[in-house]
Structure 1
Amino acid sequence: MLSFITSSLAILAAVISNVRAETHTVIFTNRCGFGTPTLIQGPNVLSTGDFTIDGPLISAIAYLQTGEIGGCGFNGEDCTLVETTLNNAGSSTDLSLIPPHAFSVTSGFGYFDGCDGAGADCTGPNCPTAFEDPTQTFKQVGCSAANVNLAITFCD
């Protein structure tokens, strides 16, 4: 009986060690020569650079804080906004120019380590890939891969 329990525990330990916990990384590339990439979730600044989370990243926003007079507000007001949820149950990311957001710098995103090549770019104020009103849900870029990561680029 003891060998059965020991054997069962060994199998359980092997299964558990092979299960990869949910994790996501957001990386920033800033080619503008100015500003600070900023990642916000609710009232919290998560990062002003690359960020990794163990678990889902729900309802986060990112933008390039220009630091200039009249730069971005805390929630990205007056700037090009990247909105994202990275979740093993399904990820979604989009660009937003819904007021009070407005074009500030060329911005883009792309998934990696899953859904490679899926993403969007906004290169000017008339950006066909960005939300301009909340009903444009077709502009969201989804990804069903587990543990997918996100690259955000400014001024590319």
Structure 2
Amino acid sequence: MLSLARVSFAVLAAAISVKAESHTIHFTNLCGFGTPTLVQNGVILSTGQDFTIDGPFRSAIAYLQTGGCGLNGEGCTLIETTLVNPTTPGSGSSTDISLIPPHTFSVTSGFGYFNGCQPAGADCNNPNCPTAFHQPNDTGVQVPCQLDNADLAITFCD
């Protein structure tokens, strides 16, 4: 029979060995103007510096603020992301580019996962790019990542 101390130690060791969920978003702005902006629920979380969160990161948007973008990226090329560790098949991270009005092409924008799922990503370098949502049913442009702790690199003007 196992002693209570041995069981407690085994549970503690298992808990320590499990890495907590974490995601980082990294920006690269090659435009020479503008400010990379990361927004979630109307709150600006980053203006170009790396953003790291411990835990799931749902329903965030990113864009290059050139002076003409609204808080929710209106008038600009929008990158939408949810970064979460999958709990069932198909329930992990998903990122896309949106040009659904009131969003419109403003600068070349792209993203790619790193620390898992690379080279999965997408780029949009013109108003008609096939890798972006142009209407809500363009769901085939979503780029999934079904690995734990996926990170995201967002680049403007590459």
Which residue number corresponds to residue 89 of structure 2?
none
- Find out whether 1:108 has 2:110 as its counterpart: yes
Residue identity matched to 1:61: I
Deviation of residue 42 (structure 1)? 1.1
CA distance in 2, matches of 1:136, 1:101: 15
Deviations 1:103-152, CA, capped at 9 Å, x for gaps: 00000000011101000000111111000000010110011001100000
Number of residues of Structure 1 aligned to a counterpart in Structure 2: 152
CA distance in 1, matches of 2:145, 2:114: 10
What root-mean-square deviation, in Å, do the aligned CA atoms of Structure 1 and Structure 2 show? 1.1
CA distance in 2, matches of 1:142, 1:16: 28
So what's the TM-score if we normalise by structure 2?
A: 0.93
Residue identity matched to 2:66: T
CA distance in 2, matches of 1:109, 1:59: 16
Deviation of residue 48 (structure 1)? 1.1
Deviation of residue 47 (structure 1)? 1.2
CA distance in 1, matches of 2:34, 2:8: 53
Deviation of residue 6 (structure 1)? 1.4
Residue identity matched to 1:65: Q
So what's the TM-score if we normalise by structure 1?
A: 0.94
Q: Point out 4+ residue stretches in structure 1 off by more than 6 angstroms.
A: none
- Find out whether 1:82 has 2:84 as its counterpart: no
Q: Extract unaligned runs of 5+ from structure 2.
A: 87-91
Q: Extract unaligned runs of 5+ from structure 1.
A: none
CA distance in 1, matches of 2:117, 2:42: 29
Which residue number corresponds to residue 73 of structure 1?
70
CA distance in 1, matches of 2:149, 2:7: 29
